[in-house]
Amino acid sequence: MTASDRMKVRRALLSVSDKTGIVEFARFLAAQGAEILSTGGTAAAIRAAGIPAKDVSEHTGFPEILDGRVKTLVPQVHGGLLGRRDLPEHLAQMEKHAIAPIDLVAVNLYPFEATVAKGAGFEDCIENVDIGGPAMIRSAAKNHASVVVITEPEQIAEVRAELEEGGTTLALRRRLAQAAYARTAAYDTAISTWFAQQNGEVFPPRLAVAGLLRQGLRYGENPHQQAAFYVDGTQRPGLATAVQVQGKELSYNNLNDTDAAFECVAEFEKPAIVIVKHANPCGVAQAADLATAWDLALRCDPVSAFGGIVAANRTLDAAAAERIAAIFTEVVVAPDADEGAKAVFAKKKNLRLLLTGGVPDPATPGLLVKSIAGGFLAQTRDNGRVTEQMLRVVTQRAPSAAEMADLLFAFRVCKHVKSNAIVYAKGLATVGIGAGQMNRVESSRIAAWKAEAAAKAAGLPESLAKGSVVASDAFFPFADGLEAAAAAGVTAVIQPGGSIRDNEVIAAADKAGLAMVFTGMRHFRH
């Protein structure tokens, strides 16, 4: 970068809602001989520190009007930002119309997102839609060859450092211009999303998606892939709100699996533990306390649990932490952890402990987005929850109270298992899970095999599937999947129903003496 590429600041316009660092920056600019233009509260804060600042209205000769809605939307501001310094005709026009160049703009926008987040009314939200701010940002970014644009407080330090070395570089101004357009795009996305919600539109004609970089990741699913973690500002309790208390840097796969585990554990009201491996639950249980829930969840598949992700829906205590830390665990995520639990995990330096500050409400609506070649798919979150009142008994025998509790539990777990999904459960704990198979009968057999393996590992004389219930995320297309579960020893079945062969499946259940209920709701997860 040559000396001629560096640009000094002779005139700066500072107008920010987040005033972090702005007074010290103004003092620095003034010391360098720059004229400071400002508005409203920013000008007041700068002057209160004894730094001279000229009101934009004084600079433009045009007063603020319409309750401040129009104050910078004038040629003296945008001409000063957009005028090219390398074109004599631009400079001549600026001189003719008494337009002074503006070399730096620091603007962060009206807090629209924060206003919506606190539940403000329609009119308050509209008043927090910034017009002049985005316009100045876009003008400055377009003319970045001659203008510095600052949109975030954390950018101030890098700009100041370059100014101390004689002026800002073109490389920095280009980076700041890209960040500026990304900021206004995200701002417009927030506004358009809110408007769509106000209008009752789930899928508007143009769907905008924006994210803020939380962290760069070492790599993606595989070492040759690049990856990063972005947050969307919705503040749903989970990874976006989590504080990492200890442990190594999280990987792409860690984050994906941890999200799957925490979303699953949020399904349960009682203390619950979910163990996930490769985005699928391999053990789930709820009990009177987390330590007991852990023991039951681990029993389901102790082999897969090694190196897994553990999620809890309660504050972790030392008793639960001791059990979890007894095997190799990649990540533990919970709403909180007491000091005893933190002390236990601190002995495992590589274990990542994430505390989210809360548990997401499974019923909260939202959109899920998945990329495909040439575009992306969007769908509403699967926030469906089956209750006992929704169930239809279709067999000669109805489930007992204990079977009914296990059926509802198993179907909630099924919602978080990759299709085709089969879940065996007993005593509010999974005892066998079959996931992601191309046909349902194989998922049934795999789940049964896992239940047998778990029993052997625990030194029990018979399969854990004996006396369990089975949940299927979608209907049994043939009786063979149900018959495989019956052979494993289940006593009751929960499934959506809706197959053209439902009568055959019902007849098979009756023949085996099973109770079966239909939910009328499917939970495919691909």
* Active site residue ranges: 142, 278
**Packing angle of the helix pair 22-31, 156-164 (nearest 10 deg):** 20
What's the helix, strand, coil split of the chain in %, to 5?
40, 20, 40
* Phi, psi (deg, nearest 5) at residue 256: -60, -45
Question: Are the CB atoms for 266 and 275 separated by under 8 Å?
Answer: no
C-alpha 500/C-alpha 258 separation (Å) is: 38
Q: How many CB atoms lie within 10 A of CB 228?
A: 12
Question: Are the CB atoms for 37 and 132 separated by under 8 Å?
Answer: no
- Ramachandran assignment for 308, one of left (phi > 0), alpha (psi -120 to 50 degrees), beta (any other): beta
Q: What angle do CA 437, 443, 447 make, to 5 degrees?
A: 135
Question: Are the CB atoms for 474 and 437 separated by under 8 Å?
Answer: no
C-alpha 353/C-alpha 343 separation (Å) is: 11
Distances (CA, A) of 131 to 42, 54, 184, 191, 298: 17, 21, 10, 12, 55
The whole-angstrom distance between residue 224's C-alpha and the CA centroid of its chain comes to 24
C-alpha 407/C-alpha 422 separation (Å) is: 12
Give the CA-trace dihedral at 188, 193, 199, 202, to 10 degrees.
150
C-alpha 24/C-alpha 49 separation (Å) is: 9
Question: Are the CB atoms for 261 and 309 separated by under 8 Å?
Answer: yes
Residue with tokens 């962060």: 108
Question: Are the CB atoms for 444 and 484 separated by under 8 Å?
Answer: yes
Q: Which residues pair with 368 in a beta bridge?
A: 379
C-alpha 411/C-alpha 270 separation (Å) is: 16
